[in-house]
Each structure stands twice: as structure tokens, then as C-alpha cells.
Amino acid sequence: MTDHATNIRLLAINDLTVARGDRRLFAGLKAQLAQGEAMALTGANGAGKTSLLRVIAGMIRPVSGEVRFENETGPLEADAARSEGLHLLAHLDGLKPGRTAREELDFWARWMGGEGDLSRAIETFSLSPLMDLEVRKLSAGQRRRLALARLLAAPRKLWLLDEPMAPLDAAMRARFAEVMKAHLAEGGLILAAVHDPLPMTTGSLDLGAGR
Amino acid sequence: MKAILALFRRELALAYGRGGGPLLACGFYAGVAVLLPLAEGPDPKRLAAVAPGAAFAALALASLLSLERLFERDFEDGALDLLTLGSPGLAAAAAVKCLAQWLATGAPLAATAPAVAIALGGAPDLSPLVFLTSLLAGLGFNFIGGIGAALALGARRGGVLVAVIVLPLFTPLVVFGAGAVDALSTGLDWKPALALLAAYSLCATALAPFAMSAACRNAMS
């Protein structure tokens, strides 16, 4: 379809200043993330990790500076890159309690432009016994696995992850580490807000102590 | 297109999952309409004179009931954030939500409207026009109400705020809708009022999605 648009190869952050209300979170932030690379976004609680991810995803407007997405031919239009090229995994997962896991995964895969083969995503996160349960009956870790399955159900290059590992058990953390490595090997990009180091070689971006 | 259809199906399922939302709105509509003869006295002539206007005012209020929650749940659980990341975009998502709401709630309300009109003393042969005007007005109610719902996101007592924002904008729909029915029942030409009603509703359908999208983005940031 629009393969060139979705094929983000570089994420560049230039002189980015972000404020929430009257409070300035960070100023003059610079960073670059290229194809096949992962970056660990660290910082104290309240330093602005989640806000930075939401700025990149286009939900918060920065005070100044720019977020640029590029493919092989040059800069992309930001709206197109966001609506076709990136995933955001946040604390609020957007899953409706009253719908079944299958209905929700199927809907989000389609909304994000997935081609409808969910079996790999379901298998990877061992979701098959849970697919017919209502989301309200899932534990925090199971819900997170369902949210993670969306990353595979609709392939997109840039993953913005907000503490993706937090509710997962040890076995599932190892599984997701494999998934991230495979994504990088296929030319993906990962920017993850974390407190523990990511299980792979990464660049790092520290937002400091916060307030 | 697959994405749009998937969202439409989800919205319909959610509308019916909200504890029988559409039936509740119909019950409210019928309830308000039944109160009127009790307040106005049983004289059929007096009742027939105010019936079209009162029925449309009740329809506007009933449409408002389920509208306040149109974006709120998606806003609270993070789904609205993710809706911005689909290729159809947020304005299309807002339009689909309003259309689904129209089908889920507006259509049952329009189907109830002829019964309400007859209960208020309207002639049974008005029923086709009552249904048509109610359906068209419902389209406008839902798209304009959607703007109010989006603007009220994150506000306390959002429901009341939605009503205050959108009720003035409902005025033309009530005026032209009741006007068309009134004209037919008194033997006048009802087509101009119907045309104006349709024009207002279609304008709202075309323009409101952009306003909803902007208001949602404002609430998110």
C-alpha cells in the first residue's frame, strides 16, 4: 500500500522543549534513533518520559523544537508517519473491559492497518487460552500481553514503549526480549521508557532527576 | 476501509453493551412525551397544537442522553490516544462514532417517534413524515452533540456542560423538524422545512468531525 510512508528509518529529536502546565519538563533535548537501534529512555518519576513519548506520537504539542521522521528518501510528513508508522504502548491500554480479548485484538489490528493474521501474535504471547475471556477478567500481566500482541498484529516500524516490562513475569519478559530483538533485526526502531536496563544493547537518553 | 468498518462494528457493540443504552433513550423519550398531556390537560385540540414542538424537544433531550459518553470512555481508558494512530485519522474516527451512535440510538428513537406523535393526538397519516424528520434530525443531533461531548472531555459534570453547549445548536433542527410536521398537519407545504432540516443535518455531518477531532486533541494534550 503506502510502504514508503510506513518505512520509518530515522527518528530525530531536535532542541525539544516540553512543558506540562507551568512546569518545564526538559529543554533543548536532542536525540537520534536509527533503523535497527533501541534506546532506553531513563529518568526519575516525573522527569517527562511519558510526555516525551506522547510528544513523539503527536498527542502533546512541544513548546519548541521538532520531532522528525525520515525514510530512505528523506523527511516524512509527521502526521502520515504517526498514523501509519508507529505504535505507542502506554499505561492506559485502551482495552474495553466488557469485550473479549479476541474482539479487542482484532479491532485494534484492523484499525492500525494489520492484515488480519493474528495467530503469530497470539502464539508469541501465549494468549490462546485467554482469547475468549472478557478483558475485565484478565490480570494486569495478561492485559499487558494482549496490548503487546498489538505490536505484532499490525506491523509498524517505530515502537514507543512506556515501561513495557513492568507487569510481566520473568518468562514473559524473556519472551518479549526475543520479540524486541527480532523487531530490531528486521529494521525496526524501539524507544522504551524503562527503570531497569533493556535486555539488549541500547543507546540511552536520560531525562535526569525531574522534580 | 477495513479499519472504518471495524470501528463501526465496535461502536455498535459498545452502544448495545452499555446496559441497553438505545432502549433507555426510547423509554426516556416516551416518558417525557407522556408527561406532556398530563401537564397540558386532556383537551385534544390544545394538545394537537403543541404536540409536534413538544415531541421534537423531547427527541432532542433523549438524543442528548447517550451522547455525553460518546468520547469519555475512550478518553479515560486511553483508546482515544490509539485512535489517533490509525491511518483513517481522528476526524474519521469521530465521524464513524457519531454514525454508529445514530444507527444505534437515533434510528430506534425515530422508530418510536410516530407512536409518540399518535399518543399526543397527531393523525396516523403523519407517521411517515414524523419518522423521516426524526431520523434526519437525529443525524444532526448526533454530530452536533458529538462536538459538545468532545469539548466537555475531562470536565467535571460533563453531561450538564454538553447540554448547555449543544442545546442552542439544536434549535434549527427542532424548529424545522416540528415545522415540517406542523405544516403537513395544517395542510401547508412541508417540503421547505424538510429541505432546511436536511441541509442543516448534512452540514453538521460534513463539518462536525473536524471540530470533534480538534476538541479531542485539545483534551489529550
Write the pLDDT tens digit of every residue in A192-203.
Answer: 998 888 877 778
Distance of CA B36 to the CA centre of its chain: 20
Is there a contact between A189 and A33 (Cβ–Cβ < 8 Å)? yes
The pLDDT value recorded for residue B80 is 93
Count CB pairs under 8 A between chains A and B.
83
Is the pLDDT confidence value at B101 over 60?
Answer: yes
CB contacts of B69 in chain A (<8 Å) are none
Q: Which grid cell sits at A36?
A: 535497527
Backbone angles phi, psi at A167, to 5 degrees: -85, 5
Closest alpha carbon within chain A to B9: A107
**Is residue A74 very low, low, confident or very high in pLDDT (cuts 50, 70, 90)?**
confident
| Interchain CB distance below 8 Å, B81 and A57 | yes
Q: Does the distance separating the beta carbons of B87 and A99 come in below 8 Å?
A: no
Per-residue pLDDT of B161-176, as tens digits, reads 888 889 999 999 999 9
Instruction: Measure the CA–CA gap between B74 and A123, rounded to whole angstroms.
Output: 28
Helix axes B127-151, B191-220, angle to 10 degrees: 20
Q: If pLDDT is split at 50, 70 and 90, which confidence band does A116 have?
A: low
d(C-alpha A111, C-alpha A116), whole Å: 11
Cell triple for B183: 405544516
What the block records as the C-alpha cell of B6 is: 471495524
What is the average pLDDT across A166-184? Answer: 91
- Residues in chain A, total: 211
> Closest approach of chain B CAs to the CA of A134, in angstroms?
13
Nearest alpha-carbon partner for A75 in A5, A156, A17? A5
A136 touching B, CB under 8 A?
no
Rounded CA gap, B46 and B65, in Å?
29
Average pLDDT, chain B: 89
Nearest-CA distance A115 → chain B (Å): 10
Can you read off the three cell numbers belonging to residue B63? 438524543
Give the separation between CA B184 and CA B187, rounded to whole angstroms: 5
pLDDT at A178 over 80: yes
- pLDDT of amino acid B20: 60
Taking CA atoms, what residue in A is nearest to B85? A83
Q: Which residues pair with A32 in a beta bridge?
A: A12
Q: Using a CB-CB distance cutoff of 8 angstroms, which residues of chain B are in contact with residue A79?
A: 89
Three cell numbers, residue B66: 447517550
Instruction: Report pLDDT digits (tens) over A16-53.
Output: 999 888 888 888 889 899 999 999 988 888 888 999 99
The Cα B158–Cα B145 span in angstroms is 12
B218 — contact with chain A (CB < 8 Å)?
no
Residues of A in contact with B82 (CB under 8 A): 88, 94, 108, 111-112
Among A75-79, A151-155, A196-200, where is mean pLDDT lowest?
A196-200
Is-contact B208 B98, C-beta < 8 A? Answer: yes
What pLDDT sits at residue A199? 79
Predicted pLDDT of residue B210 = 96
Distance from CA of B114 to the nearest CA of A (A): 34
pLDDT at B148: 93
Confidence of residue B18 (pLDDT cuts 50, 70, 90): low
**Nearest-CA distance B78 → chain A (Å):** 4
Q: Could you tell me if B78 lies within 8 Å of chain A, comparing CB atoms?
A: yes
A144 contacts chain B (CB < 8 A) = no
pLDDT at A210 over 70: no
Q: What's the CA dihedral at A34, A39, A43, A48 to 10 degrees?
A: 50
- The pLDDT of residue A2 is 47
Taking CA atoms, A1 is separated from A71, A146, B87, in Å, by: 15, 27, 12
Q: What is the Cα–Cα distance from B3 to B93, expressed in whole angstroms?
A: 9
Give A56 to chain B, closest Cα distance, Å: 12
CA–CA distance, B84 with A62 (Å, rounded to integer): 17
Distance between CA A50 and CA A64 in Å, rounded? 18
- Domains defined for chain A, CATH in brackets: 3-200 (3.40.50.300)
Smallest Cβ–Cβ distance between B85 and the set A82, A93, A106 belongs to A82
Give me the sign of the Cα torsion angle A49, A54, A57, A62: negative
Shortest CA distance from B80: residue in chain A: A94
Helix intervals (H) in B90-190: 90-101, 107-119, 127-151, 158-185
Query: Is any Cβ of chain A less than 8 angstroms from the Cβ of B154?
Result: no
A61–B81 C-beta distance less than 8 A: no
Check CB contact of A171 with chain B, cutoff 8 Å: no
Angle, helix B158-185 to helix B127-151, in steps of 10 degrees: 160
Give the pLDDT of residue A52.
Answer: 92
Q: Does B45 touch chain A (CB under 8 A)?
A: no
**Looking at residues A97-109, what average pLDDT do you find?**
92
CA A88 from centroid of its chain's CA atoms: 4
Residues B112 and B118 sit within 8 Å (Cβ to Cβ): no
ipTM score here?
0.89
